[in-house]
Chains A and B, each alone.
Chain A
Amino acid sequence: AQSVAQPEDQVNVAEGNPLTVKCTYSVSGNPYLFWYVQYPNRGLQFLLKYITGDNLVKGSYGFEAEFNKSQTSFHLKKPSALVSDSALYFCAVRGMNTGFQKLVFGTGTRLLVSP
């Protein structure tokens, strides 16, 4: 069975500082990994994905994520946080052995960027 763990309910960071939102996954075989962001009263917005290849993936709005197979992690990072980055972030996994597009999501991490 596939699963995702986001160990931090909330991450606090000051504007201009680097941020990291953690994600670990469990899946049979190689994973497809995704990060989404959700603003209040909105749907999920796609940030980036890891399919194969380079372990450092670059996405929208200056976000990037590092895939680490040995640690089964896919942490989201940004070099310099903005107040407007404050939102709910979800990590999701899809197994390559899955016959369809089901995404399994973590419980989300709330990012709060203070001015």
Chain B
Amino acid sequence: DAGVTQSPTHLIKTRGQHVTLRCSPISGHKSVSWYQQVLGQGPQFIFQYYEKEERGRGNFPDRFSARQFPNYSSELNVNALLLGDSALYLCASSLSGARNQPQHFGDGTRLSIL
């Protein structure tokens, strides 16, 4: 079975641009979360979506937004890109929204801002 798939794998943007990252969860998984991993640090939570509704939001500015589609795939959007947005963006899925469920991660999208 396919794991969590993310696209694109790499992306280069310039300051002020907008970016959309995409994620397809493991088949049957209904919860998707997004994390930002800056080089040398652990992942930081951005959003969780379950059944197409936002369930949780981390400490990120309003330039970051996301949504989940009826097929449970998800998009992360970032507007007005800053140099500090350069990072690996990870998508994780879980079977349900329950807190005891482990999250399974994709290989991420590496975003570089010039």
Contacts and interface: CB of A to CB of B under 8 A. Distances in A.
Contacts, number: 73
Interface in A87-114: 90, 92, 94, 96, 98-108
A101 B42 contact: no
Q: Which of B40, B97, B100, B108 has the most CB of A within 10 A?
A: B100
Contact of A101 (B44, B55, B107, B108): B55
A101 B97 contact: yes
A44 interface: yes
A32 B105 contact: no
Given A36-B105, A44-B105, A94-B99, A99 B41 contact: no
A100 B55 contact: yes
Interface of B: 4, 31, 33, 35, 40-45, 48, 50, 55-56, 58, 90, 92, 94, 97-108
Interface of A: 4, 32, 34, 36, 41-46, 49, 51, 90, 92, 94, 96, 98-108
